[in-house]
Amino acid sequence: MSSITLIGTGNMARAIGTLAVAGGNTVEVMGRDQAKADDLAKALGGGTTTGEWGAVPAGDIVITALLYDGVVPVVAQYGDALAGKVIVDISNPFNATFDGLAHSEETSVAQEAAKVAPAGASVVKAFNTIFRNVLENGRPNVFMAGDSGQAKADVATFVESLGLRPLDVGGLKMAHWLEGMGLVTVGLAQEGVGHWDFALGVDEFAG
């Protein structure tokens, strides 16, 4: 089992936290609003604790469940408190019209977070292609990208504890394309699929 810290107290923190507790993991919540962190920890139960904003997280895996424009500043603010941690960026940096990414260059929030993360920390992009309601009700595949094989193995162990299938898509530069997959998923919800109760996955065909 894994020890995780959720930085953020919103919808995705609640959805991932609920699965994490059910999967027998040790969970800590940190929020810039301590009252929200306390409320979420209480709602998650299972011995979930809260930590002080900006302090060293108790979890070995730190999930930044923040709006995309908060991720890099918060990783920078935590600074050395994240040394040695596996930082999981779940964000979707969509533009205002949901038909492009907020950053125009071929980068990603995860790659930018890695630039400000302390030495010894590893950033993994994961979970961003999965709608919260699917996490609550389904068993989607979890795509992940990162440069550290050990960090991805740690995240894969955590994902498997949730009853989900981790799928490695490559190095951290692939996080840009996972963010693009997030856009594709929204496009499918609005057009081809026509609802939000699905996730992108992998079908394998033999022969």
Which residue ranges make up the site for ligand NAP (CB under 6 A)? Answer: 8-13, 31-33, 36, 65-68, 70, 73-74, 90-92, 128, 130-132
Nearer to ligand NAP, 99 or 149 (CB): 99
Report the nearest approach of ligand NAP to the CB of residue 36 (Å). Answer: 5
Nearer to ligand NAP, 8 or 146 (CB): 8
Nearer to ligand NAP, 101 or 150 (CB): 101
Report the nearest approach of ligand NAP to the CB of residue 121 (Å). Answer: 18
Report the nearest approach of ligand NAP to the CB of residue 116 (Å). Answer: 14
> In this structure, how many other beta carbons lie within 10 angstroms of the beta carbon of residue 132?
16
Report the nearest approach of ligand NAP to the CB of residue 206 (Å). Answer: 31
Report the nearest approach of ligand NAP to the CB of residue 67 (Å). Answer: 4
DSSP secondary structure string, the chain? --EEEEE--SHHHHHHHHHHHHTT-EEEEE-SSHHHHHHHHHHH-TT-EE--TTSPPS-SEEEE-S-HHHHHHHHHHHGGGGTTPEEEE----B-TTSSSBSS-SS--HHHHHHHHSPTT-EEEEESTTS-HHHHHH---EEEEEES-HHHHHHHHHHHHHTT-EEEEEESGGGHHHHHHHHHHHHHHHHTTS-SSS----------
Minimal CB distance to ligand NAP: which residue? 10
Nearer to ligand NAP, 71 or 151 (CB): 71
Nearer to ligand NAP, 29 or 205 (CB): 29
